[in-house]
């Protein structure tokens, strides 16, 4: 009996890991991940130690399933044609131009993907919307499909991802819930049940929530907004702690002990990053403004304002502790990924801190165990371009950035070490050893509150953290 076919368009942080787990748990399906980026597909087909997405446990799953029932290809049309179920996991960035610039979601890639599906389809398809998208996107997808191919029946399902980068594999294998939304029609419910059947291969039915399309799409935005809100809330209190003498670690522990609140996402830090939180909240703000809910929009926009303020405030504390100026001073940033256990640097706090310090004349050394030097330099160039600087100025600033592949080199002759990603390796650094290679006294700025101050038993250290 021939295997059933699943196709996923998009081989990034969502599509790759999600399809790898589906292939592992659903051997009755052939799962093909397609992408227009040949280099990315080649990486998925290459050395599993160098996959384009780093996630603990992903390498092993890919090794077990690849070329058995998991395939990576650039032959998009062929994969679409032979598959009944097509997952759409393409990028949905914030709009940079036109109506809703800076807030609304840019659905260009979704529209292009929908047109391509329509043109390559000759039989009934179920389109599964995995990309984070605003309310109504599924309906727009269906309209685009119908406009470009009126001879095929398409059913669009909303199945938003709830993956935390760095724990994506565990989140897929044992999720808190799986959300599947569909039009409440006979055909919509039938298609929804087919998707539910896939997840039932390894996820208990009680964890699978079914809704209408709009509820599913809004639930994704709402979840990320609530999580980001908690981070901004605790960070807003961290500034008060620093001024008053309270300790944010003690405050977090006390607040988190309340069963009505819980202790998750109450760690004060330099601020949240990643591809979802900021983008999804801005989209939520735009939606609220669109419907005339201006007070609600301002409420959620404040979450972003506090997060931006936290990064600026942390950077200013570094400058203040270094005598009010950082010009020509070497500052080492430990961590470039927006969180540990990922090579994703999108909206990383490190980018904003580096940008702020570079504009003040600092020399920046960077070390991250997983983020490539190529990406780090690109991130810096991109944000300098956003600042509107000319090419000569950008080049001169980038010349003050040094990326290293080991910690020892990155801290040589530095006057400040700023911990900006909570990588486990940074928790147990030998500060006595480090102090031999740096200017005295060494200033440590702990942006993630992960350093055990008991390890800093030498009086030559100056130490600050967030909210203490």
Q: Which residues are the active-site residues?
A: 276
| Paired strand residues for 416 | 331, 443
Structure tokens at 202: 């390894």
Angle between helix 373-386 and 349-359 (nearest 10): 60
CB atoms within 10 A of CB 271: 28
Dist CA 54 CA 165 (whole Å): 9
Tell me if 213 sits within 8 A of 180, measured CB to CB.
no
Tell me if 356 sits within 8 A of 369, measured CB to CB.
no
Q: In whole angstroms, how far apart are CA 302 and each of 28, 161, 229, 298?
A: 47, 25, 9, 6
> What 8-state DSSP symbol labels residue 336?
-
Q: In whole angstroms, how far apart are CA 45 and each of 42, 371, 372?
A: 5, 20, 20
Structure tokens at 291: 């419907």
Dist CA 356 CA 314 (whole Å): 10
> What 8-state DSSP symbol labels residue 426?
G
- b/e per residue 159-178 (b: at least 16 CB within 10 A): bbbbbebbbbbebbeebeeb
């Amino acid at each position: 009996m021939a295997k059933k076919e699943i196709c996923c368009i998009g081989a990034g942080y969502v599509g790759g890991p999600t399809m790898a787990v589906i292939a592992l748990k659903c051997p009755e399906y052939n799962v093909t991940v397609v992408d227009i980026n040949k280099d990315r597909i080649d990486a998925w087909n290459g050395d599993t130690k160098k996959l384009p997405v780093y996630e603990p446990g992903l390498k092993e799953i890919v090794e077990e399933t690849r070329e058995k029932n998991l395939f990576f290809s650039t032959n998009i049309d062929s994969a679409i044609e032979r598959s009944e179920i097509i997952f759409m996991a393409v990028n949905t960035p914030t709009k940079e131009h036109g109506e809703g610039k800076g807030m609304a979601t840019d659905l260009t890639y979704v529209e292009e993907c929908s047109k391509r599906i329509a043109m390559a389809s000759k039989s009934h398809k179920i389109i599964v919307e995995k990309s984070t998208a605003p309310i109504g996107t599924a309906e727009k997808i269906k309209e685009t499909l119908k406009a470009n191919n009126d001879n095929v029946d398409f059913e669009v399902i909303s199945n938003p991802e709830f993956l935390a980068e760095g724990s994506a594999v565990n989140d897929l294998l044992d999720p808190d819930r799986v959300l599947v939304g569909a039009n409440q029609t006979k055909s919509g419910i039938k298609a929804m049940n087919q998707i539910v059947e896939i997840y039932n291969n390894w996820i208990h039915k009680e964890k699978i929530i079914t809704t209408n399309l709009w509820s599913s799409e809004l639930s994704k935005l709402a979840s990320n907004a609530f999580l980001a809100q908690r981070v901004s809330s605790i960070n807003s209190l961290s500034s008060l702690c620093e001024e008053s003498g309270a300790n944010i670690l003690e405050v977090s522990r006390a607040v988190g002990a309340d069963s009505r609140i819980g202790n998750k996402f109450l760690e004060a830090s330099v601020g949240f990053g990643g591809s979802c939180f900021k983008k999804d909240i801005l989209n939520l703000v735009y939606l609220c403004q669109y419907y005339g809910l201006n007070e609600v929009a301002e409420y959620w926009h404040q979450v972003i304002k506090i997060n931006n303020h936290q990064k600026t405030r942390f950077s200013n504390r570094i400058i203040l502790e270094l005598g009010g100026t950082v010009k020509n001073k070497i500052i080492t940033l430990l961590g470039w990924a927006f969180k540990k256990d990922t090579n994703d640097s999108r909206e990383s706090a490190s980018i904003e801190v580096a940008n702020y310090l570079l504009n003040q004349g600092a020399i920046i050394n960077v070390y991250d165990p997983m983020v490539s030097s190529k990406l780090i330099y690109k991130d810096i160039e991109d944000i300098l371009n956003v600042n509107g600087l000319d090419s000569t100025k950008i080049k001169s600033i980038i010349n003050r950035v040094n990326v290293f592949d080991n910690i020892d080199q990155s801290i040589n002759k530095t006057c400040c070490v700023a911990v900006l990603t909570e990588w486990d390796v940074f928790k147990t650094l030998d500060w006595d050893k480090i102090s031999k290679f740096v200017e005295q006294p060494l200033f440590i700025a702990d942006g993630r509150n992960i350093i055990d101050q008991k390890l800093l038993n030498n009086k030559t250290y100056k130490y600050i953290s967030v909210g203490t």
